[in-house]
Every structure is written in structure tokens, then in C-alpha cells.
Amino acid sequence: MTNELDPTDIEILKLLQQDATLTNKEISFKLHKSIATIHERIKRLKEQGYILRTVSILNRKKINKSLIAFSQVLLNDHAADTLAAFEREVSKFPEVMECFQMTGTFDFILRIATSDMDAYHDFYRNKLATLPNITTVQSFFVLSETKSDTAYPL
Amino acid sequence: MTNELDPTDIEILKLLQQDATLTNKEISFKLHKSIATIHERIKRLKEQGYILRTVSILNRKKINKSLIAFSQVLLNDHAADTLAAFEREVSKFPEVMECFQMTGTFDFILRIATSDMDAYHDFYRNKLATLPNITTVQSFFVLSETKSDTAYPL
DNA sequence: GTTGAAAGACCTAGTGA
DNA sequence: TCACTAGGTCTTTCAAC
């Protein structure tokens, strides 16, 4: 079986990125295909790793995660071991939802979710700033969410 | 019924943030509750807006979105109308997955998904840079993903 | 690759405890 | 909150095209 996507696969992925509670039946109706075809396609898309996982997205304001920060971190040593150690340790903090190594004037960008500025301060002081080899941390805070999507353009 | 979360609700949300394909039966087994209880809880969590939606997360490298950029945008005018107009227009671009208004030395941060640097360049030149009132755009590119989670800590 | 059919699993609402 | 019930829906498989 081929490992490339045809237009039906693309449409299925578009739909599931927006709403993964759609049943095979509903998708088959939208795409004018049989239920078995849709079932087979989705099974293959999961097996071949196109679909990584299916998750519920929560309303962060209702679960007391009102403050989102993006923190840019610069290290004072760029040996592979140092970078790997930072990645390993920072990933353990539950407040850190994302960690990317970046091009440019800093090394990493972190997305940090906390309840408020006090909680962020606590995280910064007692967790992030205790990691070795950090030169600077520059943080920016989300004032408002204009667009917040997990779907890639297809 | 109250609008606060008890420990069972928290556990359900934790599970569904990681894997929303779990059946009520599986969740009831993990949490040592009846299926009816789990069903009732999840229904309520959706109705009360704790669970916003359920989506499939795709493998961006397999769907030709290898390049992720974070772009910091500074505007030359901060009237409410200007901000709103920028938000409205930038949200229309499918490459823009996220747009947040931020505290600090710039106004917005955008997460942009494209296939490669050529595609990013095209987006920048023909879409983003054509919007009015932009003073500067500073972009950083993801070198590697250390952690990429949609789940909030609970 | 696609289809329809069929069996089994699951969802959902309701009852009574 | 639970156990149980029952109807309806969905998933999953498979022989056949």
C-alpha cells in the first residue's frame, strides 16, 4: 500500500483535525464514500503515523490556567550534553507545555501554563531558574487569544 | 449541580487530554467508577464548557509542514480599531495557527506552519507583510521539538 | 480500492435502589 | 452514585467485486 495521501485522505484529516468526534458514518456522508472506506482510511492513517493521537482540548480559563507565558531561554554553554540536559529537565515540569529549540538570539522557547502571576513567579524562581547553565530568561505573557488552533493547513 | 471539579472530574480531564479515544467503559475501569457515572460526568464537563472540543493531532512532518516559525509583530498604531483589524486579517491566513496579543516589547506572537523556508518566505512577503500598520516582524524558527503537548497540568 | 452485510461492542437514557 | 435494562448506533471484519 502506498504511503501518500490522496484527496480523500486529505479531507478526512481536515475533518478530524477540527472534530475528532465525527463518526465514520458522518464522514462517509460528507465525503460521499462508504463507511468501510472511511474506516479503512482512518485505520491506515493511524498506522502510518499521520494521526499521532486524539485529545480533548480544555478551556484553560475554567481549569485555573489563566496565565500563558512564552519564555525565551539562552544558555551559556551549547555543548550537546548541556542542551540535552536542559531539554530533559525542563520537559519534566508540568507547567511547560511546549519546548522548542530555536534559531536566532536565544536557544529555547517555552510555553508555560499557570494559574496567575504568583504561580508563574513560583515556577520561575523554584523550578526554571534552578536549572544549570541558564544565562537569561525573557518572558512574555498572553494578553488575549485571537486564534488558537491545533489544525495544520492542508 | 455545582460547577466545580471534584477529584473524579480532574482524573477524567487528565485522561481525555492525553487520549480522547478512551471509551467510557475504559475510563470507568481506570477510575473504579460505574460507566453511568463517567458518562454523566463527561456530559456535564462538555455542557459546562470545560471540554471545548476533541481533535486529532497530526504528524506535521508527514503532512509537509516541516517548518514552524514564531513571529513577533510590532504595530505602529495601537488604537483598538487597528489592533482588531490586524487580528481579524492575520487570523484569516491558514498558515497562522495561533495569534496572541502579548505583553512586552512587541504586540503579537504568531505561530506559523509552512512546508519550508521558501513557503515561509512566500507567506511573509505576500501575506503577512502586506497587512497595514506593521512596524517590525521578527521571526524565529523551530530547530527541534523537545516537548509538544496540548494538555494543561491538572 | 471499494462495497454491503453482519456480529459484536458501545452509547445513552431510563428505572429503581 | 450505582446496577441493570434495552434500543439504537457505531465499529470492525470479511467475502466479493
Q: Which residue of A has its CA nearest to B139?
A: A104
pLDDT tens-digit profile of B67-88? 999 999 999 999 999 999 999 9
Contact B54 A58 (CB under 8 A): no
Task: Quote the pTM value.
Answer: 0.94
Q: Does the residue B152 lie in any domain?
A: no
pLDDT tens-digit profile of A61-119? 999 999 999 999 999 999 999 999 999 999 999 999 999 999 999 999 999 999 999 99
Partner A, chain B 18-77, Cβ-Cβ below 8 Å:
18-21, 48-60, 62-63, 65, 68, 70
CA dist., res. A14 & res. A7, Å (int): 11
- B133 is written with which cell numbers? 500598520
Q: What is the CATH number of the domain that holds B13?
A: 1.10.10.10
CA of B2, C1' of D11: distance in angstroms? 35
Q: Does the residue B36 lie in any domain?
A: yes
CA dist., res. A41 & res. A127, Å (int): 44
Q: Are residues B71 and B26 in the same domain?
A: no
Q: Are residues A86 and A136 in the same domain?
A: yes
Q: Is B94 on the interface with A (CB under 8 A)?
A: yes
How many domains does one find in chain B? 2
Q: Does the residue A146 lie in any domain?
A: no
Using left for φ > 0, alpha for ψ between -120 and 50, and beta otherwise, residue B136 falls in: beta
Sole residue written with cell 510590532: B74
Q: Rounded to a whole number, what is the distance in Å from the CA of B109 to chain A's nearest CA?
A: 9
Q: Which residues contact A83 (CB under 8 A, 6 or more apart)?
A: A75, A101, A107
pLDDT tens-digit profile of B112-143? 999 999 999 999 999 999 999 999 999 999 99
Q: Does the residue B92 lie in any domain?
A: yes
- Residue at B122: amino acid letter: D
Q: Which residue of B has its CA nearest to A60?
A: B152
Q: Which residues contact A20 (CB under 8 A, 6 or more apart)?
A: A54, B20, B54, B55, B56
Specify which residue's alpha carbon is closest to the C1' of nucleotide D13.
A36
B58: which strand partners? A51
Domain limits at B36? 2-47
